[in-house]
Amino acid sequence: MPHLTRREFLRLTGLAAASLALLEVGCSPQAQKGTTAPALRRQVSTPTADQAYLAVAHGSDPAAILKAALDSLGGIQRFVKPGQDVIIKPNICVDYHPAEYAATTNPIVVATLVTLCLGAGAKRVRVMDSPFAGISPSSAYAATGIQAAVKAAGGEMEVMSPIKFARFDIPQGKSITSWNIYRDIMETDVLIDVPIAKSHSLARLTMGSKNLLGAVSNPNQIHSNLDQRVADLVSVIRPNLTVVDAYRILVDHGPTGGSLNDVRQANTIIASHDIIAADAFGATLFGLTGADIPSIKKGAEMGLGTLDLSTVKVEEVNV
């Protein structure tokens, strides 16, 4: 048997481990039910009497309107406590459009969240997504401007490793009862969902709820019975805070876009602990209601959030 150097041995064992992980991730979701413990339930901070249930801020400065929206909710310290681990999940779907094309979350919004979380005492702030188009996650992180902005703010960009996906039960699931989800996203102290509001060829609109597909393996399989499966995932992933980036919105040819003619400057940030409420308000920017978007409606039917915004305190501010 030929002698292997330490470097060769580590390389071969690493490749073997990655291959086994990829096989695990790629297996049929129905064949592995119950192979991992049920999803952890993060505590979602509901508002006090003086805090908005949902906040909407308008203005020309994306950092300023984000801060104004969060202030209406009680500030970032309502969601992030000293010493906590934070993961921010933006939409970084492609590596061939900069932020101006409204296919990916605005880097200023993401970086401002990193700064605020660290300012609240977060031990660590990571930013991650699973881009579905382009050369690699790293190329998408760089091309969108998010990587540079996050690093300048003191955060970490993490490429999601195949070996970190694990099977989680979905007790309320109506179409799927388990799925492979990125373990760190399930186990982090604080999860902040930061989608961009844009059109989608299958879902009609994609915002907070559908953005969670970037946290799972085999997202193409979610597109079968898409609306219910998105709601099923929301029932276990449960972000502590959803911030909908509507500074620019993509009104047609989503989710990847490609023409500035399809981009509208909406100068808006929407924020809430309630992902369904945040998405429902986001729909109004397109002349729709939350009930017009099947995945949002399914989530409300499962009791995952508020669809009727007239029943909660919505605070709008201009900056």
Over residues 243-302, the pLDDT tens digits come to 999 999 999 987 888 899 999 999 999 999 999 999 999 999 999 999 999 999 999 999
Q: From CA 218, how far away is CA 201, in angstroms rounded?
A: 19
Distance of CA 33 to the CA centre of its chain: 24
Distances (CA, A) of 95 to 131, 146, 225, 275, 316: 8, 11, 27, 26, 33
Over residues 19-73, the pLDDT tens digits come to 333 333 333 333 345 445 444 556 778 899 889 999 999 999 999 999 999 999 9
Sign of CA dihedral 66, 271, 132, 84: positive
List the CATH code of the domain at 54-318: 3.40.50.11440
Packed helices 294-301 and 226-237: angle between N→C axes, nearest 10 degrees = 50
Residue 244: per-residue pLDDT: 98
β-pairing, 156-157 with 241-250?
unpaired
Residue 134: per-residue pLDDT: 61
Over residues 75-100, the pLDDT tens digits come to 999 999 999 999 999 999 888 888 89
Q: Provide mean pLDDT across the span 113-140.
A: 91
Cis omega before residue 255 (within 30°)?
A: yes
Question: What is the enclosing helix (H) or strand (E) of 156?
Answer: strand 156-157
* C-beta neighbour count of 253 within 10 angstroms: 16
On whether the pTM is more than 0.95, the answer is: no
Residue 98: per-residue pLDDT: 87
Q: From CA 203, how far away is CA 199, in angstroms rounded?
A: 8
284 and 82 Cβ atoms separated by less than 8 Å: no
Would you kindly state where each structural domain of the chain is located, as residue ranges?
A: 54-318
Task: Specify the 3-state DSSP secondary structure of 112.
Answer: helix
- What token pair was written down for 319? 């900056």
Residue 95: per-residue pLDDT: 84
Residue 4: per-residue pLDDT: 40
Residue 204: per-residue pLDDT: 87
Residue 117: per-residue pLDDT: 98
Over residues 2-20, the pLDDT tens digits come to 444 433 433 333 433 343 3
> DSSP characters for 191-259?
EEEEPEEEEETTTEEESHHHHGGGGBS-HHHHTTTHHHHHHHHHHHH--SEEEEEEEEEE-SSTTT---
Distance of CA 193 to the CA centre of its chain: 4
Given phi > 0 = left and psi -120 to 50 = alpha, else beta, which region is 296?
A: alpha
Biggest alpha carbon distance in the chain? 73
Helices first, then strands: H and E counts in the chain: 11, 12
Q: From CA 242, how far away is CA 238, in angstroms rounded?
A: 10
98 and 106 Cβ atoms separated by less than 8 Å: no
Over residues 149-174, the pLDDT tens digits come to 999 999 999 999 999 999 999 999 99
Given phi > 0 = left and psi -120 to 50 = alpha, else beta, which region is 215?
A: alpha
Over residues 217-252, the pLDDT tens digits come to 999 899 889 999 999 999 999 999 999 999 999 999
Q: Which residue has the tokens 């709601």?
A: 231
Specify the DSSP class assigned to residue 216: B
Residue 36: per-residue pLDDT: 52
Residue bearing the bigger pLDDT, 2 or 107: 107
- Read off the pLDDT band of 135 (50, 70, 90): low
Q: Which residue has the tokens 């219910």?
A: 228
Average pLDDT, the chain: 88
- Read off the pLDDT band of 133 (50, 70, 90): low
